[in-house]
Amino acid sequence: MADNKHRHLTKKERQELRREEKKQAQLRQQKQEQRKRLFRRIALWLLVLFGVGGGVFGTIWLAKKPSPARSPQQSHVDSSSGWTKGNKDAKITLVEYSDFQCPACRNSYAWIKRLNLEFNDNMQFVYRHFPLIHIHSNAELAARAAEAAGRQGKFWEMHDLLFENQSDWAHQSNAEDTFIKYAQRLNLSVEQFKNDLNSKEVREKVENDYQHSIQSGIDATPTFFLNGKKIQNPRSYEEFKNLIQQALQSNS
């Protein structure tokens, strides 16, 4: 792909990004197939349970069939939780659902960092975990590492280290050792970091973010909401900046 989004990536990074996009498409397809199989099983179960004919069963099925999942564009995005940067009283709130092992998230990371610097007084940025555990073996652990660092006041510092060094740990069989080294680099209490990394509270925090994402209709990373409305992922920093500026103008 030759657009601005990929212009500064190496050949290896572009290949990895394409593989990642393919994996996410396959994951969405798998989820659709799983839902179809679930609906078929429910239909058969109801048919056996009620022992009724097609006409009555059709009425039961329509009544029992779950309503369509909420589109992310229509979802209520709660910005009251998650890790925040910027002005909490700002009229602009940008929420990101992200995965530390996702190459596309790594690509967007640099843009978000610039936006936070440029619009710090006029925008609040909220980060939420959405580790794609089915395709990223270290994503959930990385999210817990950031949370553990956050308990010592260094969430954003760990957040930056994880993205900036993604290629070093993404496919490691024991990434925890690498994350402990990052904790040492940040002058954290390593013992506390290790305890928090595997604590029930930190696991639940990451899981709660993940479940909130599912309930909001999120199925890919990164996903951005600007003032509660889902936006298409920008293809360049300038495109992202223009979206923020337009939101500022409409809320001035």
160-199 pLDDT, tens per residue? 999 999 999 999 999 999 999 999 999 999 999 999 999 9
Given a contact cutoff of 8 angstroms between Cβ atoms, the answer to whether 127 and 161 are in contact is: no
Instruction: Average the pLDDT over 14-24 and give the result.
Output: 72
Q: What would the two tokens of residue 231 be? A: 């936006």
Q: Does domain 83-250 have CATH number 3.40.30.10?
A: yes
Task: Tell me how far the alpha carbon of residue 222 is from its chain's centroid.
Answer: 6
| pTM as predicted | 0.71
| Mean pLDDT across 228-250 | 95
Determine the Cα–Cα distance for residues 6 and 2; give it in Å rounded to an integer.
6
Amino acid identity, residue 6?
Answer: H
The pLDDT, as a whole number, for residue 82 is 87
Query: What is the per-residue pLDDT for 150?
Result: 98
Q: How many CA atoms lie within 13 A of 232 on its CB side?
A: 4
So where are the chain's domains? 4-68, 83-250
Peptide bond into 222 cis (omega under 30): yes
Identify residue 80 by its one-letter amino acid code.
Answer: S
36-45, 81-90, 150-159, 190-199, range with the lowest pLDDT: 36-45
pLDDT at residue 99, rounded to an integer: 98
User: Which residues does residue 85 pair with via DSSP β-bridges, in sequence order?
Assistant: 125
> Residue 251's pLDDT band (boundaries 50, 70, 90)?
confident
Residue with tokens 């959930």: 140
In total, the chain counts a number of residues equal to 252
Q: CB count, 10 Å around CB of 40?
A: 10
Q: Distance (Å, rounded) from C-alpha 72 to C-alpha 231?
A: 10
Q: CA-CA distance, 239 to 252, in Å (whole number)?
A: 20
Phi, psi for 230 (deg, rounded to 5):
-65, 135
CA–CA distance, 85 with 77 (Å, rounded to integer): 17
72-89 confidence digits (pLDDT tens) = 454 455 555 689 999 999
Stronger pLDDT, 211 or 78, i.e. the higher one:
211
